[in-house]
Amino acid sequence: MPRFQKPKASTIGTPIYHRKRRSWEDDKDLMMELHGILTKLDGPYDYFDKNVIQFKTKIDSFIKDGFQENVEVFFLCMWIREQLTELTIKKGNYNLQVDPLIFPSDINEIIRREESKTTQKGGSKILNVSISDLFPNPKLRAFALERIQMLHRGDLIAYLSSLVAREKESLMNYSANIMDLIHICEHKLALRNLKTKNNFSVGETDIWVPELSLGVEVRDTWDESEEIALIQTLSDTNFRKRANHLCLVTTDDLSDAKFLKLREIEKRGVIENLSVIRVGDFANYLDALKQSVND
């Protein structure tokens, strides 16, 4: 019968946040435990050592500014856990109340080094950009850091590649194509400082632009059997919103035959304030419409 090595005491008795980060609260618990030890006069650290003082001051700043979504906390706790792993390897077990960590003279350099290790793996070329530049929003950055560590072992390039692959896959289905077209329209509106309201329920257009009194409906394909439902949506938007303008936007690659079928709705005057255009012409349409409103 095969024999199995039992786990060492350190892997049983130490708190899980010493070994693993599940959320920002694990980092906070680790920092606060260490902070408590650093403030003890009879603890394992020289209370007046400049490196100890510097480390304690850094934790004090985290306490003041907050731990959640703090990228410095994330990277510094990575370094601390590396030191704890080394203690486990050397001693079999450890006690932070007795076994001191060796603090560096430059904490900011440690943080930069940990960020570099996290974001520059997985390729022959170094990605010369910081995680803060890629994800300036702190909530998004905190989420991305957790996903990078959890799914790709700190490999930022692999994480970004997976995001692109998933986006490509999602754009292959019908609903994603529609959402992509809506996002393109929203982007062109945002570039012109035009605020929008979205409505994905039956009865109104996909986008409403209050400043222009404009309703925007999108289509990435077309079937004549959908005409009655489309006209109903446009009519309801006119009635509910008292729209001055309605615009039906299609993809640039919609076949000419289908696009002309849609244009027939405009030409018949079924909806008098309707324009049917391709998304590549949407910017020019907005500029002309905005100019006419200002005049």
The pLDDT of residue 62 is 92
Burial (Cβ within 10 Å: 0-12, 13-18, ≥19) of residue 181: buried
**Dihedral, CA atoms, 48, 52, 54, 60, nearest 10 degrees?**
-100
Cα–Cα dist 6/224, whole Å = 70
The CATH 3.40.50 portion of the chain extends over 174-294
Asked whether the CA dihedral 143, 112, 83, 117 is positive or negative, the reply is: positive
Q: Regarding predicted confidence, which is higher, 187 or 116? A: 187
Residue % of the chain over a pLDDT of 70: 84
Which tokens go with 209? 């632009």
| Whether residue 210 has pLDDT greater than 50 | yes
Contact (Cβ atoms closer than 8 angstroms) between residue 118 and residue 78: yes
Which strand (E) or helix (H) includes residue 208?
A: strand 207-209
* 238's tokens: 């006119």
pLDDT in tens, 10-32: 444 567 788 777 778 888 999 99
pLDDT of residue 1: 41
Residue identified by tokens 């900011």 is 108
DSSP state, residue 281: G
Number of H helices and number of E strands within the chain?
A: 13, 5
Q: Specify the fold of 174-294.
A: Rossmann fold (3.40.50)
Q: H/E element holding 278? A: strand 274-278
Question: Which range in 150-154, 173-177, 190-194 is most confidently predicted, on average pLDDT?
Answer: 190-194
In angstroms, rounded to a whole number, what is the distance separating the alpha carbons of residues 41 and 61? 21
